[in-house]
Structure 1
Amino acid sequence: MEIVTQILPFVFLIAIMYFVIIRPQNQQAKKHKEMIEALTRGDKIITTGGLIVEIKKVEDTY
């Protein structure tokens, strides 16, 4: 019983780290991948530098 009480806080911390750090990061990566795959020729986007551009060609590598 004493071992369980010692391990329980570590399990709790790992669960918190998963829900605060790992899970949101995976969700954001999935959302970004879906957005990149949905781009088509003629779409207008704003780059991180603030430029408004129109997509002329879509390739698999980026």
Structure 2
Amino acid sequence: MSKTIKINLDMIMLQRKMSLTELSDKVGITMANLSTLKTGKAKAIRFSTLLALCDALDCEPGDIIQREDT
């Protein structure tokens, strides 16, 4: 059994009623990069980006990133 990393950005944005455009403006990264992260296609994330997302979404890193069995 292997493990993967799941990004829960969709769920948190929905809970906060925040659009991709609004989050992009608050965090200061492009919508294209946010979309890549949101769809789980990103291979890495900078800690500074993760911190900015947590600040904008008022959450903890573990709310965004989750380890999952595959």
- Establish whether TM, by shorter chain, passes 0.5: no
TM-score scaled by length of structure 2 = 0.23
TM-score scaled by length of structure 1 = 0.25
> Which protein has the bigger strand share?
2
